């Protein structure tokens, strides 16, 4: 048996602090534009079935029990206690938490406490810029404050993340924009913008990416399905190839999140470029019983030292559980089959499992250093 | 064992009424541009092998018998009797028949009789427009007659289908064209056109799509490999994203046919948009022994209430048989494995199988209403 | 058991004549832009694991032994003797060798001798044109010498190969460029070029492709991951669709090499166009334990008479071994499973295995004629 005793979740969000009913819980199981179609429910998805498989036992119920029964038990325990039991049952020992989403979500400190785990912050670039814009009066002050904010974040965050792919698409000009270009774009954006307005300008998105690259802190880029975007093919990670080439040798690692359905392309980039890493977790949450297939596809081209687990969970601690359990089981099944076939040695399989589950993330994000 | 006692074939064509020789039968096994390469035969394809597996027993022969023997037996029985035995052995209890292809093909009534099944008509938009053009003298009469034809079709058809993807590509402007634009395009098309000329103008293709959307009848869109087209990537269903978004909330369902090799993208759209459904059948006919892999990939992201079986068969009743048998076996294998692994409960698997095989189609196409 | 007693490697390169240390050997296991990331090694890849599985036993060591031990044994035997043992253990009986790569690589005659096999030459078009440019003074002499070189190569080579996909991308205008266009492009290229300069001009790349098509000798086109290129999606084989259509019926076969991650698209083209063939080997070397999955995906749409084995090996005889063993094992597993499931008959499976392993290549490249 392939064991992964410790998991570093290299990308997730916090959990909701509020009690959820059946409908509000269901709405968190998928990312949709609109309510479920008449006659359908989001519980009838891979994610829904995976939640019903893995989570009821952690709250003292039988696997696959009906959603209403599960939700009743969850409310009986209360959101805090249920969350505590779920997170502690996930097998995750370190959470890297992207704090850039709105909503009443727990932060890294609460995640660490509830999950009896370590936790570190990931700073999302676009909301950072939007917050700076909300409080800056002029283009000059915006750009100066932004530089300071990125610099400040770099000193405490373990990574930056970017959703440029869903905001604009990944077909961005690969080189850093010039100072005049940035000033012009900032001026237009600040003029047109109302407080809270989203950053979608490609010049400013590139400016953010390059500011992050300059910091030396690993940069996580959403690709493929990661964030609901305008069109999924516009987030195909191959569109990043020239940006990747432009950032080679600068000392900053790039981590391609999600990737699916272009995860083979993400794995290819991780194989070609020394500073590129591929996520092999977040999508498993969505593909459920099909997780082993997707994981095996990532393992085709990506070097084993370049693959990182994440849950990609957001809002429900059930999703942290499911992301972690699906990953562990899929990894055990895929590597175990290869060992049984004689393709891999058991020693190698065990070593690679540890790398993907935790070791690679510890190295890339400097967690042994950060935790010290 | 996962059972699917009743199948609704949500997309197929009729069968040929003429006797076929070895060569004419072989030519129907694949969609090619030109005859088989020297030294090769289209029987040496997944479809050919699947026909040899499933069909001989229905005509009293052993599985995998040589093609010449099978064809001899088929001629011995006669095209009508062979067709009757094949269709009745398919397990399909309702056929939705696209009548928009030329050739000496049986219509819904004959399909129902031969197959001892229900049958309903799907009206293909582009041939409908071409027939109207053949009989309309002016732009005004063409547009008026077209509106009337679409309206009339909507009253008896269970769905419209469109091959805009293979005629032009799915990268169409998402919004409905304006009346002046439509008139201009119609005028140019009618002027240049000879009788029988194909509709490929993107403005008129969009006008047809929006006319269908306005009718409220489900609209089936060929995507991926469905129809031999100019370039398969131009039929990638992600190209429909903006059209899908523009039609959200209007009350008309969109069904993405085929999808392969972009079926994961089709499944993604079915997951994000309440009014989008994904086909999980027609491609199985082509992928044969690989059907379970493809079906499992569709089941990764598409909610289980959004997946519909079809055979995609055209011309040969053998293809209805093969489409249905491959689907049943693949579904049984995929879901059965998940149950055996503990990922799904048997009850859920059985329920989902019934939804994909028939229930979802009955709901989307209002078949219980239509049949009543 | 499915047997493939004889393998025709339809695409490979020679092996290095120099002794290799651990680092120089490792660097040959993958195609990267830069050295392995800190803390990682290219031995921790599917290719590295496959080499450690299959090659040590051929040199008298146990499978999966540590890289350093394997390299020590390799040096102990010497590069010639190690190469001899490896190539003779590969199961390959005919090598088609692309001689267009630089480096101290063995040619077809040495490959035949070392491997106790037949060997034939594949001529790569772009280096051929570059050599002609190096020795031609004027545009006129360049074009005349190029025509003569292509003609000469066609008389002894079994195939031409092209890397237009990685030099420019496969989105080339489909028709042959006119004579004036070619002259203009040649003039610009020769003027700007220093000796050894690479050919990347799209007009000249097309001119080469059409010169090869005119020769009647099969033309191999790198697609997908074949050669490290500018962006992998620019080598998606679907981009060749219009070129394929333009060359239909001219009597020259096109072979799509690699294809991955767009191998389903390559298989689709092989299914639609009589003169198109799909490679089902070179990528297996990269995907290792995942080889059976990729091979099964190619077998979904490509007719079985249109699929050809290759190792795609370059530089290390270990890669010829691994390419061949992975292919044999993957083919045996995929077809064996289908036989066990009753989907295919054993007779058919055995026949198809022989076609893909050797028979199709013998027919397409006229090897029985060439060897006579």
Per the prediction, chain B carries an average pLDDT of 96
Helix axes B139-156, B202-215, angle to 10 degrees: 40
Q: Is the CB of B289 less than 8 angstroms away from the CB of C248?
A: no
β partners of residue A15: A315
Of A369, A366, A358, A338, which is closest to residue A280 (Cα–Cα)?
A358
- Other C-beta atoms within 10 Å of C76: how many? 11
Distance from CA of A101 to the nearest CA of C (A): 31
Q: Is the CB of A306 less than 8 angstroms away from the CB of C40?
A: yes
pLDDT average, residue stretch C227-247: 91
Q: What is the pLDDT of residue C226?
A: 67
pLDDT in tens, A142-196: 999 999 999 999 999 999 999 999 999 999 999 999 999 999 999 999 999 988 8
pLDDT average, residue stretch A66-71: 98
Chains touching chain B through at least 3 C-beta pairs below 8 angstroms are: A, C
Q: What is the pLDDT of residue B370?
A: 52
Helices (H), C10-90: 22-27, 46-58, 67-77, 79-88
Contact of A79 with A30, CB cutoff 8 Å: no
Q: Is the pLDDT of residue C195 over 90?
A: no
pLDDT in tens, A31-63: 999 999 999 999 999 999 999 999 999 999 999
Contacts of B361 in chain A (CB under 8 A): none
In this predicted complex, what is the ipTM? 0.96
**Among candidates A31, A230, A289 on the partner chain, residue whose Cβ is nearest the Cβ of B338:** A289
Q: Is the CB of A40 less than 8 angstroms away from the CB of B338?
A: no
Q: Is the pLDDT of residue A243 over 50?
A: yes
Q: Is the CB of C49 less than 8 angstroms away from the CB of A348?
A: yes
Question: What is the spatial distance between Cα A88 and Cα A80, in angstroms, rounded to a whole number?
Answer: 12
Q: Which two tokens stand for residue A186?
A: 């900032």
Contact of A31 with B274, CB cutoff 8 Å: no
Q: Is the pLDDT of residue C245 over 90?
A: yes
Contacts of C355 in chain B (CB under 8 A): 44
Q: Is the pLDDT of residue A69 over 90?
A: yes
Q: Evaluate the CA torsion angle A322, A327, A328, A333 in order and state its sign.
A: positive
**Among candidates C239, C297, C305 on the partner chain, residue whose Cβ is nearest the Cβ of B40:** C305
Kind and range of the H or E element at A246?
A: helix A241-246
Q: Is the pLDDT of residue A228 over 70?
A: no
Q: How many CA atoms lie less than 13 Å away from C161 in the CB half-sphere?
A: 27
Q: Is the CB of C232 less than 8 angstroms away from the CB of A297?
A: no
Q: What is the pLDDT of residue A52?
A: 98
Q: Is the CB of A238 less than 8 angstroms away from the CB of C232?
A: yes
Interfacial residues of A (vs C; Cβ cutoff 8 Å):
236, 238-239, 241-242, 245, 248-249, 253, 264-265, 268, 271-275, 296-297, 299-301, 303-306, 338, 341-345, 347-348, 352, 355, 363
Within-domain flag for A2:
no
CATH number at residue B295: 3.20.20.140
pLDDT classification of C194: cutoffs 50, 70, 90: confident
Q: How far apart are the first and last CA of chain A?
A: 32
DSSP code per residue over B184-236: HHHHHHHHHPPTTPPP--HHHHHHHHHHHHHHTS-EEEEETTSS--S-GGGG-
pLDDT average, residue stretch A239-256: 97
Q: Is the CB of A303 less than 8 angstroms away from the CB of C30?
A: yes
pLDDT in tens, C75-124: 999 999 999 999 999 999 999 999 999 899 999 999 999 999 999 999 99
Q: Phi, psi at residue C277, to the nearest 5°?
A: -125, 155
Q: Is the CB of C53 less than 8 angstroms away from the CB of A265?
A: no
DSSP code per residue over B42-75: TTSSHHHHHHHHHSGGGGT--TT--HHHHHHHHH
pLDDT average, residue stretch C142-171: 96
pLDDT classification of C15: cutoffs 50, 70, 90: very high
Contact of C329 with C284, CB cutoff 8 Å: no
Q: Is the pLDDT of residue B372 over 50?
A: no
pLDDT classification of A371: cutoffs 50, 70, 90: very low
Within-domain flag for A65:
no
Chains touching chain C through at least 3 C-beta pairs below 8 angstroms are: A, B
Distance from CA of C60 to the nearest CA of A (A): 18
DSSP code per residue over A76-116: HH-HHHHHHHHHHTS-EEEEEEE--S-SSB--HHHHHHHHT
For testing contact with chain C, the best of A223, A303, A344, A365 (most C CBs within 10 A): A303
Considering only alpha carbons, which residue of chain B is nearest residue C241?
B231
Question: What is the spatial distance between Cα A346 and Cα A359, in angstroms, rounded to a whole number?
Answer: 18
pLDDT average, residue stretch B357-361: 98
**Among candidates B245, B268, B303 on the partner chain, residue whose Cβ is nearest the Cβ of A225:** B268
Contacts of C44 in chain A (CB under 8 A): 303-305, 352, 355
β partners of residue A219: A160, A254
Contact of A228 with A31, CB cutoff 8 Å: yes
Q: Which two tokens stand for residue C273?
A: 């166009």
Contacts of A303 in chain C (CB under 8 A): 30, 36, 40, 42, 44-45
Within-domain flag for C71:
no
- The residues near A257 (Cβ < 8 Å, ≥ 6 apart) are A11, A161, A220, A221, A222, A223, A226, A279, A282, A310, A312
Q: Phi, psi at residue C274, to the nearest 5°?
A: -55, -30
Residue found by looking up tokens 């620019």 in the block:
C234
Question: What is the spatial distance between Cα B202 and Cα B168, in angstroms, rounded to a whole number?
Answer: 7
pLDDT in tens, B313-343: 999 999 999 999 999 999 999 999 999 999 9
pLDDT classification of A303: cutoffs 50, 70, 90: very high
Within-domain flag for C209:
yes
pLDDT classification of C372: cutoffs 50, 70, 90: very low
pLDDT average, residue stretch C42-48: 98
pLDDT in tens, B147-176: 999 999 999 999 999 999 999 999 999 999
**Among candidates B241, B338, B355 on the partner chain, residue whose Cβ is nearest the Cβ of A231:** B241
Q: Is the pLDDT of residue A372 over 60?
A: no
Q: What is the pLDDT of residue B369?
A: 76
For testing contact with chain B, the best of A27, A33, A296, A329 (most B CBs within 10 A): A33
Q: Which two tokens stand for residue C92?
A: 């390959």
Q: Which two tokens stand for residue B96?
A: 């939705």
Within-domain flag for A24:
no
pLDDT average, residue stretch B112-127: 98
Interfacial residues of B (vs A; Cβ cutoff 8 Å):
236, 238-239, 241-242, 245, 248-249, 253, 264-265, 268, 271-275, 293, 296-297, 299-301, 303-306, 338, 341-345, 347-348, 352, 355, 363
**Among candidates A268, A274, A338 on the partner chain, residue whose Cβ is nearest the Cβ of C36:** A274
Q: Is the CB of C32 less than 8 angstroms away from the CB of A271?
A: yes
Q: What is the pLDDT of residue B79?
A: 97
Q: Which two tokens stand for residue A133?
A: 């814009």
Residue found by looking up tokens 């068969």 in the block:
B313
Helix axes C291-301, A291-301, angle to 10 degrees: 100
CA C94, C96, C97 angle in degrees (round to 5)? 130
Q: Which domain holds residue B113?
A: 7-19+80-371
Helix axes C139-156, C125-134, angle to 10 degrees: 140
Distance from CA of B320 to the nearest CA of A (A): 28
Cα-based distances in Å from C239 to B228, C175, C207: 16, 13, 17
For testing contact with chain A, the best of C31, C44, C54, C325 (most A CBs within 10 A): C44
Contact of A108 with A119, CB cutoff 8 Å: yes
Within-domain flag for B48:
no
Domain tally for chain C? 1
Distance from CA of B287 to the nearest CA of C (A): 4
- The residues near C279 (Cβ < 8 Å, ≥ 6 apart) are C10, C11, C255, C256, C257, C258, C259, C266, C307, C308, C310, C312
Cα-based distances in Å from A20 to A76, B45, C106: 12, 52, 69
Question: What is the spatial distance between Cα C283 and Cα A297, in angstroms, rounded to a whole number?
Answer: 13
pLDDT average, residue stretch B39-63: 98
Q: What is the pLDDT of residue C228?
A: 64
Contact of A16 with A315, CB cutoff 8 Å: yes
pLDDT in tens, C330-367: 999 999 999 999 999 999 999 999 999 999 999 999 99
Within-domain flag for C225:
yes
pTM above 0.80, yes or no: yes
Q: What is the pLDDT of residue C229?
A: 66
Considering only alpha carbons, which residue of chain B is nearest residue A227?
B272
| Three-state SS at C177 | coil
Q: Which two tokens stand for residue C192?
A: 């700007």
């Amino acid at each position: 048996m392939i064991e992964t005793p410790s998991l570093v979740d290299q990308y997730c969000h916090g959990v909701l602090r509020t009690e959820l009913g059946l409908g509000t819980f269901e709405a968190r199981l998928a990312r949709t534009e609109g309510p479920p179609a008449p006659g359908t429910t989001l519980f009838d998805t891979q994610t829904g079935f995976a939640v019903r498989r893995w989570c009821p036992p952690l709250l003292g119920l039988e696997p696959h029990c009906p959603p209403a029964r599960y939700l009743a038990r969850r409310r009986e325990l209360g959101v805090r206690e249920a969350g505590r039991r779920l997170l502690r049952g996930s097998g995750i020992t370190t959470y890297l938490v992207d704090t850039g989403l709105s909503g009443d979500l727990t932060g890294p400190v609460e995640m660490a406490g509830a999950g009896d785990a370590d936790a570190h912050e990931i700073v999302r670039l676009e909301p950072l810029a939007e917050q700076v814009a909300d409080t800056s009066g002029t283009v000059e002050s915006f750009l100066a404050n932004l530089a300071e904010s990125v610099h400040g974040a770099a000193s405490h965050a373990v990574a930056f993340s970017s959703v440029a792919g869903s905001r604009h698409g990944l077909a961005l000009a690969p080189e850093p924009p010039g100072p005049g270009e940035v000033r012009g774009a900032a001026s237009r954006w600040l003029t047109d913008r109302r407080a809270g307005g989203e950053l979608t300008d490609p010049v400013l998105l590139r400016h953010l990416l390059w500011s992050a690259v300059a910091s030396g802190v690993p940069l996580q880029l959403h690709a493929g399905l990661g964030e609901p975007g305008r069109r999924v093919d516009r987030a195909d990670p191959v569109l990043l190839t020239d940006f990747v080439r432009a950032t080679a040798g600068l000392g900053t690692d790039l981590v391609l999140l999600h990737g699916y359905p272009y995860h083979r392309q993400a794995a290819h980039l991780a194989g070609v470029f020394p500073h590129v890493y591929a996520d092999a977790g977040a999508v498993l949450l969505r593909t459920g019983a099909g997780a082993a297939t997707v994981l095996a596809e990532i393992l085709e081209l990506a070097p084993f030292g370049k693959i990182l687990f994440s849950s990609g969970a957001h809002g429900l601690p059930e999703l942290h559980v499911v992301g972690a359990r699906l990953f562990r089981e899929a990894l055990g099944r895929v590597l175990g089959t290869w060992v049984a076939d004689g393709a891999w040695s058991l020693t190698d399989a065990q070593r690679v499992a540890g790398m993907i589950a935790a070791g690679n993330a510890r190295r890339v994000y400097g967690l042994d250093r950060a935790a010290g």
